[in-house]
Amino acid sequence: RKGDSTSLRSEAVSRVFIDSSGTVWVIGGGAIGQLNKRSGTFHYKVFGDRLWFGANDPPPVGVYQDHEKRIWFASEKGLFRFSPSTEELQRFIHEKGNKSSINTSVTLSICPDPHEPERFLWIGTAGGGLNRLDITTNQFSAFTESDGLPNNVVYGILSDRNGTLWLSTNKGLVRFDPRTKAVRTYLREDGLQGNEYNAGAYFKSKEGIMYFGGIRGFDRFEPETIKDSPFIPEIVITGFSLFNRPVEIGDSTHILQQAISETKGVRLTYEQNVFSITFAALDFAVPEKNRYMYKLEGFDPDFIPAGANRTATYTSLDPGTYVFRVKGSNSDGVWNEQGASLEIVILPPFWMTWWFRISVGVILLVIVGGTVRRMESRRFRERLRTMEQEAALEQERLRISKDMHDDIGARLTQIGLLSELSKRAASPREAEEHMERISSAVRETVDAFDEIVWAVNPQYDALEGVVEYISQYVAEYLGKAGIRCLLHIPEFLSSNTLSAQHRHNLFMAVKESVNNIVKHSGARTAALTVIEQEATVTFTIADDGGGFATGSIPPFSHGVSNLKKRMDDIGGVCEISSAPGNGTMVKLTVGLNKAKTNTPR
C-alpha cells in the first residue's frame, strides 16, 4: 500500500526465502524485507538499485543461510551476504588485479563445504568456474577448466553423503572431491539427458536423491550408487603407416612380417623418416571417452597427453634406437599403466656409421695434432729466444713456459694414447668416446698454446692489448655457454703496461671467475667492466646468477682461494661480493707500469 512502510514495498518480488527459524524474507525493489507472520507487516532494509536488486534485474538464483544466521545470495550482480542482526549487506565482486577476489561477478549457486561448512562456501559462477570462499578471511580461490573442469559455467552445486560435490555445467555433470580436487565428468554417453544444464534447476531430496534440470529434461540419481568401472583395458598397437600410407604384412617396404600387434620392433632406413602409429584401448563401454598418453623414448622427454586421439606421428628422427610406449584408460579414467610398446630402429647412412667416423676422425686428429705440435713448437722456440734477450723477464717467463710446455706435452701424450685405444675399441660406442676425448684434448692444447704465446710476447704488455685479449676471451667463453655478455670498456686507455707475470696471473684470475659463472651461477647475463685509474686497473666480473652467502663455503671455494692467491702473488687485490638470489661480483685490481702518453681505442 502506497505510503505504508509496513506493507509489501513493491509488487516486483525477486525472491522469497524461508530461513532455518521459519522467518520469511522477501527480496525486490532494491530492498530486503522480513515478514511478521502475526501482524502481516513487513520490516524493510533499503539498499538501492545500484547495489541491490532493482525491479528489472534477474532475481538471485542461489540462497543459503550459514551457521551465524547470515543469508547469502548468488546473483548476476555478485555474491551478497546479509546479516539480519545488524542489517549489514556486503557484496563480493571481481576486482581486477586481485587474485584473492572472486574471479567473476556473475554467480549462480552456493553450497557449504561438506567437511568444513563453517569455514568454506563453494560458489558456482557463469564463466569463472567453481570458486571457494574462506568465510574467515573473505579470500577466494578458483577451480576452472585449467584445473580439470569441463566448463567454466557452474549452474548448480549439491553435496552427497560422502562429502563429494556434484556440479551441473554446460559440458556435463561433474563429480568434484573438495579435498583432493579430483574431477570426474559424466556426459550424455553415460546416460544423462544431455550435456547442457540450466540455472536454478537443481535439488536434493531428504532421501539424498539429486535432481538436475537441463535442456532435454532432468536427471535423477542417487550419488552413492554411481560407481566407476574398475576394468583395466588392454592396450594394443593397431597400425603402422609410412608417409601416411598403411604398411601391410609382406609389402614392398619389408617392414612387417606379421601383424603389428604381434610385432616387437621394426627397422627403418634413414630415408623412411615420416611414420605414424595407431593404438587402442580395448574397452567398448563408451570408447569415445577412452584416453591415451604416449612417449617415444630417446626423443620425447615425458609422456604426451593425447586425449581421445589414437595416432602418434613422428618426422625426421635421427638414426638410432627408440622405444614407442603408449598407455590408455577406460571410459571411467582407470589407466593401464603398463600399456604397449614397439621398438623402432632407424638405420644410419654409411657416412654416419661408427667405423666410418672412427676412421676419418683418427686420420684427421693425427694430422691436426702433428701439425699443431710442429707449428706451436716452432713458435714457442722463437718466443723463448726473444725472452733470452730480455734478462729482466727471462726467469719468470721461462717458468711459465716450462709449466705450460709440460702441460701441453702431457696433453699430446694423452692424444697419442687415446688414438691407440680407439684403434683397439671393443665397440662403436667406446670408440666414439675415445674420439670425443681426443677432439677435446686437441682443442685444449691449441688454447693452451695461444695463452702461452700471449703471456710471453712483450708486444702484448700494453694495457690496451691486455684489455682486448681478456674481453675477447670472456665474450667468446660466455657466448659458447649461452650466457649474454656485456662489455664496458673505456673509450681511451693509457699506454701503461703490465709485466708478463701480472698479465698471466690477471688473465688466469679472470678465467677462473668466468668459469665459476658458467659452472655454478646459473646466470643468464654477465658483464665485464674495466676501469683504469692513475696507477691501477680494475677488472670487474658481475653476473645475475643465484649467488651465495659470503659467510658460507661456496661449491667453488677452491676457485675463490685461487683467485685471491693469484692477486696476492702480484701485489693485487681480489674482492668478492655475493648474496643468495642477487648474483656475484668479483673485482680484480692490479698495479700498472707507468707510461707518459694515452692511446685511443
How high is the pLDDT of residue 262? 92
Q: Given pLDDT bands bounded at 50, 70 and 90, which one contains residue 398? A: low
Using the 8-state DSSP alphabet, how is residue 126 labeled?
Answer: B
Q: Read off the pLDDT of each residue in 204-209 and give the average, rounded to a whole number.
A: 94
Q: Does pTM top 0.85 for this prediction?
A: no
**Amino acid of residue 86:** T
CA trace torsion 414, 420, 426, 431 (10° rounding) = 60
425 near 469, Cβ under 8 Å?
no
Three-class SS string for 187-201?
A: CHHHCCCCCCEEEEE
Residues paired with residue 588 on neighbouring β-strands, in sequence order: 539, 574
Q: Alpha-carbon distance 530 to 489, whole Å?
A: 5
Residues paired with residue 156 on neighbouring β-strands, in sequence order: 168
How high is the pLDDT of residue 368? 86
pLDDT in tens, 290-347: 999 999 999 999 999 999 999 999 998 999 999 999 999 998 889 999 999 999 999 8
pLDDT in tens, 125-137: 999 999 999 999 9
Pairing type for strands 197-204 and 183-186 reads unpaired
297-307 burial, b at 16+ Cβ within 10 Å, e below that, comes to eeeeeeeeebe
Q: Alpha-carbon distance 173 to 158, whole Å?
A: 11
Element at 44 (helix H, strand E): strand 41-46
Using the 8-state DSSP alphabet, how is residue 244 labeled?
Answer: T
Q: Flag whether pLDDT at 402 surpasses 60.
A: no
Least confident of 33-47, 102-116, 296-310, 386-400: 386-400
pLDDT in tens, 66-91: 999 999 999 888 999 999 888 888 99
How high is the pLDDT of residue 195? 94
How high is the pLDDT of residue 417? 63
How high is the pLDDT of residue 152? 97
Q: What is the mean pLDDT of the chain?
A: 85
144 near 128, Cβ under 8 Å?
yes
Q: In what order do the strands lie in the sheet with 165-169?
A: 154-159, 165-169, 173-176, 183-186
Q: Read off the pLDDT of each residue in 356-369 and give the average, rounded to a whole number.
A: 81
How high is the pLDDT of residue 207? 93
How high is the pLDDT of residue 392? 45
pLDDT in tens, 463-498: 888 999 999 999 998 998 899 999 999 988 888 888
Q: What DSSP string runs through 275-320?
A: EEEEEEE---SSGGG--EEEEEETT-SS-EEEET--EEEEESPPSE
Sign of CA dihedral 403, 405, 410, 415: positive
Q: Which residue has the higher pLDDT, 502 or 130?
A: 130
Q: Read off the pLDDT of each residue in 201-227 and give the average, rounded to a whole number.
A: 94
Q: Given pLDDT bands bounded at 50, 70 and 90, which one contains residue 15? A: confident
How high is the pLDDT of residue 300? 95
How high is the pLDDT of residue 312? 97
Q: Given pLDDT bands bounded at 50, 70 and 90, which one contains residue 264? A: very high
Q: Given pLDDT bands bounded at 50, 70 and 90, which one contains residue 18? A: confident
Q: Read off the pLDDT of each residue in 8-15 and give the average, rounded to a whole number.
A: 71
Q: Alpha-carbon distance 563 to 209, whole Å?
A: 77
Three-class SS string for 569-581?
A: HCCCEEEEEECCC
Q: Read off the pLDDT of each residue in 404-420 and give the average, rounded to a whole number.
A: 62
Q: Flag whether pLDDT at 455 surpasses 70.
A: no
Using a pLDDT cut of 90, give the percent of the chain over it: 47
How high is the pLDDT of residue 394? 56
